[in-house]
Amino acid sequence: MKIELEKQEHNLVKINIEIPAKDAVEAYNKASMRISQHMNIPGFRKGKAPRNVVEQHIGSDRIKYEALESLLPRVFQQAISENNLDVISQPMVESYDFKIGEDLKITANVETRPEFELKEYKDMTVDVEEFKIPEDAYEKSLNNILDRAATYEVVLDRPANNTDIVKIDFEAYSEGKKVENTTQKDYVIDLSRSNFIPGFAEQLVGHSVGEEFDISVNFPEEDDLNGLREVLRTFKVKMHEIKQRIRPELNEELAKKLGFDTVEALQNDIKDFLQKDKEQRDYHASEQAVMDKVVNNVEIDIQDSMIKREQDVLLNEYKDRLAQQGFTYEQAVEQQGEESILKQAREDAVRRIKNTLIIEKIAKLENISLDSSDMTSKLNELQSMYRLEKNELLKQLSMNPSIISSLSQQILSEKVTKFLVDNNKINYVSKVAENA
């Protein structure tokens, strides 16, 4: 078999293949036999009709197609292996010339992994905006602890205030029409720290048990729904119950009840938690900052087809998020415009591809690889997170092998990112310059 490669623009390679006539005829004859085994041809048992009879019934083109289907996987694998092609897609046949008695000629195109120069990624100085513990963080943390130890009393003689816990029924309407899947019964909201739709809890204040009323809410700017953040919805609400929180006094008795020897030990535990949270936030910020600096220093010629595939993945993820929130892609298009959505998805696709390619390249350069302990640790983490028995987790993973591949990529990304943080100087500053 003769194989010739022609490098094209944008990481495409044209593969020209010539298969000797003898091998092509052999593949053709085998294809004819396979087809005949599934045909009812008068005068012949299945699989016994000669080639010329099969050709008369279905045509030689159908047999050639079957022969190619059998030949191509092996032929392409040989072409890729012998030429060390780092492919990222299946080869696509551009044309073929299949004449019985002559060499079979096939021309195909395949996408290869983009090649690029990785500039500095070690021994850099990277400015990272340091996380500052809010002045009221200790007080809020202590109040949260006291709230968890609090008792509750039902209130009947006054309307709800902003420290109460209420139980309500509600359903949402948009432009006068009820929104599907938004009816909630006996929904409990802590008015002092609601993480429901911003502006919702505040409008419950001042209403009494048994009262029915309407409130209107705009979806928040930070909402994951992007353009749908400005959708105005009306909620019909009925107040069922109001409870007031009775906080206990902070004393030695409470401290012991909570598992601490003294009040001071409880207070120190809060301070330690806040400090560890700060350190974790700073570390995550340093991971992002280092990766951003490496990515921004690299130019990669990414073929449009590769971007389009990743863009489609991101769009499907976006549609899934919308569906989980009770919205449709069509509503998003109406609010944002499809051009804006596709533009953002394409930019995100390019960014994700660049990140993946750079991580893979650094892993190769620095001999960073996965071992069995990495996957074991990740599985233990998932077990704890989702509270699953090990056998149940393995069963679910076996039903979806792509998750294993995704986990492997995630682990490699984490190891490379840690390498970058460890091998660059992190300079924590109060504010990062815009052109940094």
d(CA 192, CA 201): 9
- Averaged pLDDT, 377-388: 83
Residue 331 above 80 pLDDT? yes
pLDDT at 13: 94
- Averaged pLDDT, 349-366: 94
Please state which architecture CATH assigns to domain 263-429.
Answer: Orthogonal Bundle (1.10)
**Domain 2-111, CATH:** 3.30.70.1050
Question: What dihedral do alpha carbons 146, 147, 148, 153 form, nearest 10°?
Answer: 120
Cα distances (Å, whole numbers) of residue 128 to 266, 293, 294, 358, 430: 32, 11, 14, 21, 8
pLDDT at 98: 94
Find tokens 């400005």 and name the residue: 230
Whether 32 and 62 have beta carbons less than 8 Å apart is answered as no
What percent of the chain shows pLDDT beyond 70?
Answer: 95
What is the domain class of 151-246 according to CATH?
alpha beta
The overall average pLDDT reported for the chain is: 90
pLDDT digits over 130-149, tens only? Answer: 999 999 999 999 999 998 89
pTM of the model: 0.70
pLDDT at 325: 85
Radius of gyration of the chain (CA): 32
pLDDT digits over 222-265, tens only? Answer: 444 444 445 678 999 999 999 999 999 999 999 999 999 999 99
User: Residue 336 carries which side chain, given as an amino acid letter?
Assistant: Q
pLDDT at 435: 58
pLDDT at 434: 66
pLDDT at 150: 92
Whether 245 and 148 have beta carbons less than 8 Å apart is answered as no
Q: What angle do CA 429, 434, 435 make, to 5 degrees?
A: 105
pLDDT digits over 41-53, tens only? Answer: 776 777 677 878 7
pLDDT band, very low/low/confident/very high, at 221 (cuts 50, 70, 90)? very low
Residue 215's region, left for phi above 0, alpha for psi from -120 to 50, else beta, is beta
Q: Note the residue count of the chain.
A: 436
- Averaged pLDDT, 339-352: 94
Domain assignments of the chain as residue spans, ordered by start: 2-111, 151-246, 263-429
d(CA 138, CA 348): 38
pLDDT at 431: 83
pLDDT at 254: 95
pLDDT band, very low/low/confident/very high, at 129 (cuts 50, 70, 90)? very high
pLDDT at 219: 62
pLDDT digits over 170-203, tens only? Answer: 999 888 888 888 899 999 999 988 888 888 999 9
Higher-confidence residue: 33 or 164?
164
pLDDT digits over 386-428, tens only? Answer: 787 878 877 877 777 778 888 888 999 999 999 999 999 999 9
